[in-house]
Every structure is written in structure tokens, then in C-alpha cells.
Chain A
Amino acid sequence: MTKSINTSGVGSAINRVEGHLKVMGKAKYASEFPIENKVYGQGINSTIAKGEIVSIDTSEAEKLEGVLKVITYKNAEKLKTLEGVRPEIATDTIAPVLQSNKVHYFGQYVGLVVAETFEQAQYAASLVKFEYKKDPSAVIDFEKSRSKAYTPDNDSNYSRGNMDQGLAEADMVVEQTYNTPIEHHHPMELHAVIASWDNGKVTAYASQQIIEDAKIAISGTFQIPKKDVRVISPFVGGGFGSKLNLDRHVIMAVMASKMVDRPVQVTVTRTQMFTNTNMRQQNEQKMRVGAKKDGILTALSHETLSHTSTTQEFQEPCGMVSKMLYNVANNEVTYKLIPMNMQTPFAMRAPGEATGSFALESAMDEMAWKLKMDPIEFRIKNDTQTDLHEERPFSSRLLVECLRIGAEKFGWKDRKPEPRTNKKGNWLIGYGVSAASRNSPYQKTHSKVILELDEDKVFATIQMDATDIGTGSYTIIAQTASEYLKIPVEQVNVELGDSDFPITPGSGGSWGAASFCNGARAACENAIKTLKNNRNIAQDEEVAVSELLKKNQLTKFEAEGMAEPSAEFEKYSVFSFGANFSEVWVDKDTGMYRIKRMVNVASAGKILNPKTAYGQIIGGLTMGVGMVLAEQTRVEPNFGNFITRSFADYHVPVNLDLANIDVIFLPEEDKIANKMGIKGIGELGITSVAASVSNAIFNATGKRMRDLPITPEKLIEAGLEEGVTA
């Protein structure tokens, strides 16, 4: 094959192909499709943490002009309900709602009002009166409920070697507990759906990350054939995990549509985004690290105590990083969960890594400080090319390169190892580093290509049910088609987000880019292969696709393709790696701090488009900054509601919180990972950012902050770490 001269193919920094729609306000998100005759649904939430509804008065609401229906458990459609004790939640789990008078948490949906207008629906929802019988046994206090913790019934607990022996061999031990609070994804687009029920057939314009699983969840909940469900989601205004699975507003909208016989739009409010669209649960992570004087790790254990809901189980794999990131013979990872009266937590950007790396990379920094070693050298000393947990080699691991190249770019050599020694006026200045790793799964993906010849030009349309949640899917898929068909990207259409298209794993878990692009590649390769075969053209002969169509006397040709992990893939551990560096200025008196600059080095396989990849990295860094800066959802101790209930209480980073960010991509193609050499990048960016900032805060102030977020009042009240001179 001759080298492609394509300037818009894989690897080039083209603008997003759907970008003009977004900047002109023309991209259509779920609630924006002008469906004729649609009406508005407004969910109603419970106001107790546990108990029963004893009476409902809908009369006032029903009297209101414009109100079409008030749906509660009393008149709701019967749905398939969850079975067993706390079944594990997955991306295709059913989402039964309004099925009984039982209340399991504060904010659970207890009703839906349907009305002609949004204003009417909202007002009517406030008029439905519920009377409850409170059950005082609600579990709402994490601290006080430790004794209720259980070990989840899966094999996530893990150990190798002998922890006690490892600690005994150590010259230095760090034993500390790190806390991360409940966090919420809060994509900017409120979860929304416009659903219609038409003779047993469901159409849902829904903001979802995984179309196929949304379809499965709808068909499963209503017990209707999958083929009768269509889910459409061409644009998703951010997801970060909150739209991985199907949440209950979608089911309510479908149900309501069936009942009022009109399309129903339900938009979740920002307050409901706290209680009804997933969250990251609170984690208490106890770390024990043992090391020799020379920095060789001897022991590492990572115990996580979190909570799940009383109805479903979710366990964030916080300890995953500790199993595989460093070369340590004695290793233990355990989990415990407290069932609490709260919504079921679920995956939020880099589940496991984002929080786990805060604990691990903080503990590593603490150890380096104790050993008086440079934290970068300490990490490098414990590097490994083998995944000791999976007992197989990494497909590629360039962590050392990430750390060294980043250090150079960042100017790490100027760091003052002693805390509180770098000062400027009222500022205490600190540098921090952390290592990052993120599992890079790749999954079976189907795709279709439609080639159309118009004069001498071939236009290609790629279809798959993948989604673009801001990740750049449209663009990198177009680039892939452009690359493999050797046509300019301008001649490629990408159509996504429709369950009528071939099935993909959707967006999540950092598998999107690798899966979608390899799927598109497979379809394009199949098209060319078939066109050549039909005319007995040798596969290695270079023929333009337009020529191939002509030779086949076709003006149009369709082909499908499927890509999936190879047998080789299964023999390796496939991870992306990275390093984070931050410079933080802490105001010595007010406790406010500013992140002045960050450097991120990413070793994430083939970079399909550095522009969109950069976006993914800075997006992750921003969310990581959020974790450390202010993000937390607090539970009211007397009522069990989230006292943090709006965007004015839950502070995500604003523009001024961020600073200059330099990103360095390592030139890597991981052909073991997949044919195109792609690994995941969407979640690598958030991983260990919180630790790099918190380590910088330690370097600046001598205060070791082990509870996220690190707010001004916490910084003011914190004492100096032992051994730090004031």
C-alpha cells in the first residue's frame, strides 16, 4: 500500500465535523426535536428517605387547566421489577418506576404530571399532595452506619503475596485514610427524553450514551420486543457516565405517552440531577504502603468502604489502580459497601481510577516525602512492565517516559522539596506530580458504510449506533473512513445515535474511540475488499474507490463490518498511562488557591485527532480540578436529602479556576490493543489529577489534605504535617 496523502485522515488535527452545528446552535439534543403534539411531563420526588406513601391527593392538580394526567403508583402501568436482593446495576438494567408505595430514598420519583405546557406541568406537580409514613430506620449517615457494611458478592477482593510480611520488611510505612465525597456528573445538558408510544412501538429521543443498552432497558422494563423500540440520540450534551444506563424519567415518559396517547417530553431538573441520574458515592479509602529505605515498595493495601443503595448494588473499583500500577509483591485490595437510603450510585468518569488514584497517588507522595526521595524517581523505581494482578504483560506501558518527559516540560527540577519554602508575597507555591493509568477496553462494534458515486466523487456515509457525547466520535469516525477509503473527509457523512444503525458498545469506559473507529475501518475495508473481489482485482492493488465502483458498474454500494478484540488482545493488559503535574499557589491566610499551570503527558495509543484528544484531556483535568476544588454533595443528617441541591451549591470549576495546560502526547501505536493502535483517552485525563493538585498543596503549605474537596476552610483549619517546618 502506498502511503496515504490524505491530510484529513487519522491523526490530523481537523476541526470537528459537526462543530459548525454546535457553534451555530443547530445541533439537536434530545428535548429539541419538534415533535408535533407533544406534551410535557414533570416528575415528582419523594420527600422522605424511607417509608411508605399512605395517601395521595391529586385532585387539585387534576383540576388545573392543561393537566392531562397525574401518574402515581396507583394508576401506573405494571412494569418488570428488579429481582433478588440488591441486584447489581449495569448499563442495560431495567428501570422500573412508580410500581409501589414504598419509598427507598429522598428524591425517588413518586409521580409524574403530564400537561399541555411546561409551566402547567411544573405547577401541577407541586400541587400533588403525598402523605407518608416515615420509617425511622433509614440509613442516611455514612459514619454511623459502618457496622452495616457488607462485602459485595463478587470477586473484587484480591490479594497477592503476604501483606503482613511486606509491611514487616518495610523500613517505612504510610498508613492513611483518604476520603472522597459523593460527586455528581452534572453534564450541562439536563437528562431529557421525548417519548412516544404508538401501537406498542416506542420511539424515544433520549440523551443516552449507549443506544443499544437504552433499547434493551426500555424493552425489558415494558416487556416488549426489542425490535419495537427505537432510541435516537444524535447529540448528547455530556454524560460522564450519568447517561450510560437508562434512568427512570425515560420510562415515565414512555408510560405517560401510552396513557395520554401523545408524545411526552420529560426534562429532568438540575435538582433532580442530584437524585435521579446517578452519582459517584462517598469512598473511604484506607491505604497501607510499605517501602524500603531505597524506595522499593514492599507492601501495598487498599481498603475501600463505600455505599450502595438499599435496592441495587454498585461498587466502584477504587482499588484497581493499586493492583496494577506498581511493582509490589505483597498487595491486598478489599471492598465493603453500606446499603444506604440513597439513589444507586453508578459509574462516573473513570470509575475506580479517578478516586482510587487520589488515594494511591497521595499515599505515594507521602511515602516519597518520608523517604526524602523525589516523588518521580520513587515512582520510576517501582515501575513494572507486567500487570502483576492479571499476571500478563502490558500491551505497552510508557509511564516512565510520561513522568520524565513531563518533568522536563514542567520544570520539575525547580521544585523545592521542602514544603513552605517557595513563597511569593501572600502565596505559598507548590509543585505536585502523580501517575495515571486507565484501563483501555475495546469492544465488539458493528458499522455500515454506504458508498455513493456522484460524477467522479465518492460520498461515503458511515452508520452506527455510537454516540458523540463531546468525545469527538463524529470527527474521528469521519477521519477513519477518509483514511481507509482514501477520500477527503468532506465526502464522508457520519450518522450516529440511532438504534436503527448497527450496534456498538456506545460511549463509556474509554472504549468509544477504539471501538467505533475499528468498526468503521472494518466496514470500509470490507467494502473495498468486496468491490475488488467482485472484479477479480488483487487485494494489494491500489485502486481508487471511485474506480472500483465504476469497474463494478455501481453508483451505490453498501457494506457492513465488525471489529472485535483479537485473541492476542486477551493475552495482554491494555491500559493508557499518563502523568500529571501541577503548580498551585495557596493564599496563606484565606485558604483559597489557584492552579497556575498544569502539564499532562498522555500515552494513549494512536492519537486520532490531537485537537479532540486535547479536548478530552483538558476536560478530564478540569473535572479532576473540580474533585479537588469544591465538588461534593452533602447529605442532610436529619432528613436524608441532599442539602447540595443546585448548581449554586455544587460547585464545578469555572473558567477562572483553570489555567494554562500543556499536553504532550507520546507517539505510540498499540497494535496489540487493536489494528489501528488506539487506546482510550477520555478518562485518562481525570485520573490522578486530584492527587497532583493535593500533592502540590502539600508542597506549598506542608498540609496534607486527605479529604476531598480541599476547600478554603479545610486548608485554614488543617495543621502542618509532622516534620514540616512552619
Chain B
Amino acid sequence: MKDIDKWNEAVDPDNLSDDENMILDAMGLNGSSRRKFLKQVSAASLSIYASSFFTSELFANTMKDLPEKTTALLNEIKVNIKVNDMVKPLTLDSRTSLLDALRERLGLTGTKKGCDHGQCGACTVIIDGKRNLSCLTLAATCEGKEITTVEGLAKNGEMHPMQQAFLKHDGFQCGYCTPGQICSSVALLEEAKNGEVSYVTEDLKKVQSGLSLSEEEIRERMSGNICRCGAYNNIVQAFKEVHTGNDEMPTWEFATQEQMDKAKNA
């Protein structure tokens, strides 16, 4: 992932000019410096909409806490949220879910809202090493907990192997369930190492660690993350590749001319 370093450079807030920061704040999608910026982006082989490159962390830095008046509620809660190794003191409405705190207050929009009721898995984050649903977690309960979101998986400018595998195996389409799928997969790697069982585990009584998960097991254990685009097979391949360390082969092929002729003349 040689490009990633470059890419990180591009989004390093210190290296942004005021002009760029301004664009950032306004989410200006045009403007004089955009092209300049785009070129940086191009050099880093990231071929897409400039505005999307700004990391969410960066937004978190520029995004002010909500004005005091909005929090002047009887149930105001102060909570230090530790996300991706950063601690953020927040004053929140007691009703705020961790999901909304991440998305609406911290600008960490990588974690997605697909239902807000625990029915889809899009909001999956890792809390103290375990995958959880942030939509049913009240932010108020998160004091003292370590939260990892999809934005926190890359280390030293390198994508997490699971992120790389999802990219390689096209484990997504629209990308909306993807952060949840990836957080779930990363946590599942640990669950397998710890020897955790599932409903489809053959023998619950056999206690062992370092499980090598069958495809059936992977599917069952990843069933808490719905992908309406239907990228399941690719997700399974991506997970398998990281889990086993072996390359997974695509299951598409082109018919040969010979096959075509045979079919036509049969």
C-alpha cells in the first residue's frame, strides 16, 4: 500500500493551506484550489471526489461542539469518549446513542446508521475488543471504554489487512454496510482465536482456541451484518483470506470460445 503514505500526507491538517481548510469547512466542491488539491490526490492514485478525501478525524477537529443552548437540558451528561486512541470530552443529551455521538458530534461518519434499532449491523464498532452495536449503546455508558471505529483500524498509514482484503475481493458495492462489516470481521478474527463458538459449531463441548472457521461458520458469524447490495460471497472471501492467510480465488470466469461453439451447436 505504497500510496497510503502519500494519501496521509495529503490529508495531514498541518499541511493544508488556509485556503484548503476553508474549502474543507465549507465543503466547497468547486473553487480555485480544488484542482491543485486534486492533483495531489491524483498523485496518490486516489481517483475520486476531492471532498471525500478529507478524513473524518479532520472534521472532528474543525467541528465545534454544539452551542451551549442546545445542551441546556435537564439530562445533560458529560462523558469522555475515547475513540481510536483519542479522548474527546463531550457534553451530551443523555439520550444520545454512541452512533449519533460519533456521527453528529465527533464527525466520525464512518460508522453508519442503517436502522437505528439493532437490526442491521451497519453501526458495528469495537468496544473494549468486542463488536457492539453503537445504535443501541447510549453514549453515556461509554465513559472509560475504548472504542474503535472503522476510521481507527488503519495503523501507521497502512490499511488493516481486513480493509485491504475487502478492497481486493470487492467485499462491498455501495459501501454503506462496509465499515460495520469490517469492524465485525476484525472482531471475529479475535473471537476465532479465542475459540468462541456459534450456533453452527459442530461440538460445543470441545473447548479449544485458535479456531479455523469453516465457510458455514464465517457466514453464521457474519450474519449480524446485513448487506443489501448482496456482497456476502465477497465478504466471506475477504474474511477467509485474512483468516487463513491463503489467497482466495474469484468465482467468476469467462466462457471459452470452445464452450460457446459447443453450446451453440449442441
A residues sitting closer than 8 Å to B (CB atoms) are 13, 15-29, 31-36, 65-66, 116-120, 123, 186-190, 232, 234-240, 267, 269-270, 398, 400-401, 403-405, 408, 452, 454, 459, 461, 469-472, 474, 478, 489-498, 500, 601, 607, 610-623, 646-648, 652-656, 658, 660-667
A16 and B228 contact, CB distance less than 8 A = no
Q: How far is the CB of A652 from chain B (nearest CB, A)?
A: 6
B25 and A36 contact, CB distance less than 8 A = yes
Contact residue among A454, A496, A618, A646 (Cβ-Cβ distance under 8 Å from B230): A618
Residue of A17, A26, A66, A654 ringed by the most chain B CB atoms within 10 A: A26
B254 and A28 contact, CB distance less than 8 A = no
B49 and A652 contact, CB distance less than 8 A = no
A493 and B151 contact, CB distance less than 8 A = no
Q: For residue B262, which residues in chain A have a CB less than 8 angstroms away from its CB?
A: 404
Say yes or no: A186-B228 contact (C-beta < 8 A), given A23-B159, A119-B95, A478-B47.
yes
A72-B265 Cα distance, complex, nearest whole Å: 67
Enumerate 9 A-B pairs (CB-CB under 8 Å) in ascending A order. A18-B175, A23-B179, A24-B150, A186-B228, A235-B174, A494-B48, A495-B49, A615-B170, A658-B230
Q: For residue A22, which residues in chain B have a CB less than 8 angstroms away from its CB?
A: 172, 175, 178
A474 and B112 contact, CB distance less than 8 A = no
Q: For residue A32, which residues in chain B have a CB less than 8 angstroms away from its CB?
A: 103, 109
A267 and B48 contact, CB distance less than 8 A = no
Residue of A614, A654, A655, A663 ringed by the most chain B CB atoms within 10 A: A655
Q: How far is the CB of B264 from chain A (nearest CB, A)?
A: 6
A472-B48 Cα distance, complex, nearest whole Å: 12
Q: For residue A497, which residues in chain B have a CB less than 8 angstroms away from its CB?
A: 49
Q: Which residue of B lies closest to A25 (CB)?
A: B110
Q: How far is the CB of A228 from chain B (nearest CB, A)?
A: 16
Q: Which residue of B lies closest to A475 (CB)?
A: B47
A119 and B93 contact, CB distance less than 8 A = yes
Give the segment of B55-63, B126-134, B205-213 that binds chain A. Answer: B55-63
B227 and A188 contact, CB distance less than 8 A = yes
Q: How far is the CB of A465 from chain B (nearest CB, A)?
A: 12
Say yes or no: A188-B56 contact (C-beta < 8 A), given A492-B47, A618-B231.
no
Q: How far is the CB of A558 from chain B (nearest CB, A)?
A: 11
Q: Which residue of B lies closest to A407 (CB)?
A: B263
A667 and B255 contact, CB distance less than 8 A = yes
Q: Which residues of B from 19 to 51 have beta carbons under 8 Å from A? A: 25-27, 29-30, 35, 38-39, 41-42, 45-51
Q: Which residue of A lies closest to B59 (CB)?
A: A34
Q: For residue A500, which residues in chain B have a CB less than 8 angstroms away from its CB?
A: 29-30
Say yes or no: A20-B46 contact (C-beta < 8 A), given A26-B52, A655-B235.
yes
Say yes or no: A24-B251 contact (C-beta < 8 A), given A117-B70, A658-B219.
no
Q: Which residue of B lies closest to A649 (CB)?
A: B119
Q: Which residue of B lies closest to A408 (CB)?
A: B259
> Given A187-B176, A238-B173, 15 more contacts at CB 8 Å?
A20-B159, A21-B52, A24-B153, A28-B109, A33-B51, A237-B175, A269-B116, A471-B173, A495-B48, A615-B231, A653-B232, A654-B223, A656-B219, A661-B233, A666-B255
Q: How far is the CB of A492 from chain B (nearest CB, A)?
A: 5
A465-B117 Cα distance, complex, nearest whole Å: 34
Q: Which residue of B lies closest to A35 (CB)?
A: B27
Q: How far is the CB of B75 from chain A (nearest CB, A)?
A: 10
B166 and A469 contact, CB distance less than 8 A = no
Say yes or no: A646-B119 contact (C-beta < 8 A), given A23-B166, A26-B110.
yes
B47 and A189 contact, CB distance less than 8 A = no
Say yes or no: A23-B167 contact (C-beta < 8 A), given A18-B48, A664-B252.
yes
Contact residue among B107, B153, B231 (Cβ-Cβ distance under 8 Å from A34): B107
Q: For residue B25, which residues in chain A have a CB less than 8 angstroms away from its CB?
A: 34, 36
Q: For residue A232, which residues in chain B have a CB less than 8 angstroms away from its CB?
A: 29
Interface mask (B88-120 → A, CB under 8 Å = 1, otherwise 0): 000001011000100110011111111111011
B234 and A615 contact, CB distance less than 8 A = yes
Interface mask (B158-184 → A, CB under 8 Å = 1, otherwise 0): 010001101110111111111100100
Q: For residue B112, which residues in chain A have a CB less than 8 angstroms away from its CB?
A: 29, 188-189, 237
A615 and B232 contact, CB distance less than 8 A = no
A593-B224 Cα distance, complex, nearest whole Å: 19
A472-B174 Cα distance, complex, nearest whole Å: 8
Q: Is B229 an interface residue (CB 8 A)?
A: yes
B151 and A662 contact, CB distance less than 8 A = no
Q: For residue B220, which residues in chain A have a CB less than 8 angstroms away from its CB?
A: 655-656
A655 and B223 contact, CB distance less than 8 A = yes
Q: For residue B263, which residues in chain A have a CB less than 8 angstroms away from its CB?
A: 400-401, 403-405
Q: How far is the CB of A386 from chain B (nearest CB, A)?
A: 17
A655 and B59 contact, CB distance less than 8 A = no
A25 and B254 contact, CB distance less than 8 A = no
B174 and A404 contact, CB distance less than 8 A = no
Q: Is B250 an interface residue (CB 8 A)?
A: yes
B93 and A493 contact, CB distance less than 8 A = no
Interface mask (B231-266 → A, CB under 8 Å = 1, otherwise 0): 111111000000000000011111101011011101
Q: For residue A662, which residues in chain B have a CB less than 8 angstroms away from its CB?
A: 251-253
B159 and A24 contact, CB distance less than 8 A = yes
B27 and A614 contact, CB distance less than 8 A = no
B70 and A25 contact, CB distance less than 8 A = no
Q: For residue A461, which residues in chain B have a CB less than 8 angstroms away from its CB?
A: 38
Q: Is B73 an interface residue (CB 8 A)?
A: yes
B116 and A474 contact, CB distance less than 8 A = no
Q: For residue A66, which residues in chain B have a CB less than 8 angstroms away from its CB?
A: 69-70, 73
Contact residue among B27, B178, B233, B235 (Cβ-Cβ distance under 8 Å from A33): B27
A495-B30 Cα distance, complex, nearest whole Å: 11
Contact residue among B95, B176, B223, B252 (Cβ-Cβ distance under 8 Å from A610): B252
Say yes or no: A664-B109 contact (C-beta < 8 A), given A270-B114, A471-B173, A619-B231.
no
Contact residue among B56, B177, B264 (Cβ-Cβ distance under 8 Å from A400): B264
B222 and A238 contact, CB distance less than 8 A = no
B170 and A614 contact, CB distance less than 8 A = yes
Q: Which residue of A lies closest to B238 (CB)?
A: A23
Q: Is B5 an interface residue (CB 8 A)?
A: no
Q: For residue B107, which residues in chain A have a CB less than 8 angstroms away from its CB?
A: 34
Q: For residue B114, which residues in chain A have a CB less than 8 angstroms away from its CB?
A: 188-190, 270, 647
A188 and B42 contact, CB distance less than 8 A = no
Q: For residue A478, which residues in chain B have a CB less than 8 angstroms away from its CB?
A: 47
Q: Which residue of A lies closest to B176 (CB)?
A: A237
Q: How far is the CB of A585 from chain B (nearest CB, A)?
A: 13
A655-B103 Cα distance, complex, nearest whole Å: 26
Q: Which residue of B lies closest to A607 (CB)?
A: B254
Contact residue among B62, B216, B255 (Cβ-Cβ distance under 8 Å from A405): B255
Interface mask (B180-220 → A, CB under 8 Å = 1, otherwise 0): 00100000000000000000100000000000000010111
Say yes or no: A120-B163 contact (C-beta < 8 A), given A28-B109, A401-B264, A493-B47.
no
Q: Is B226 an interface residue (CB 8 A)?
A: yes
Q: For residue B163, which residues in chain A have a CB less than 8 angstroms away from its CB?
A: 20, 23-24
A126-B171 Cα distance, complex, nearest whole Å: 39
Q: Is B66 an interface residue (CB 8 A)?
A: yes
Q: For residue B255, which residues in chain A have a CB less than 8 angstroms away from its CB?
A: 401, 405, 601, 664-667
Q: For residue B45, which residues in chain A have a CB less than 8 angstroms away from its CB?
A: 490
Q: How far is the CB of A491 from chain B (nearest CB, A)?
A: 6
A188-B176 Cα distance, complex, nearest whole Å: 6
A474-B170 Cα distance, complex, nearest whole Å: 14
Q: How far is the CB of A238 from chain B (nearest CB, A)?
A: 4
A459 and B42 contact, CB distance less than 8 A = yes
Q: For residue B178, which residues in chain A have a CB less than 8 angstroms away from its CB?
A: 22-23, 25
A-B residue pairs, 4 tightest by C-beta: A25-B110, A622-B230, A237-B176, A22-B175
Q: How far is the CB of A551 from chain B (nearest CB, A)?
A: 22
Q: How far is the CB of A140 from chain B (nearest CB, A)?
A: 25
B260 and A27 contact, CB distance less than 8 A = no
A29 and B176 contact, CB distance less than 8 A = yes
A614-B249 Cα distance, complex, nearest whole Å: 13
A472-B69 Cα distance, complex, nearest whole Å: 44
Q: Which residue of A lies closest to B93 (CB)?
A: A119
Q: For residue B62, which residues in chain A have a CB less than 8 angstroms away from its CB?
A: 34
A18-B112 Cα distance, complex, nearest whole Å: 17
Q: How far is the CB of B238 from chain A (nearest CB, A)?
A: 9
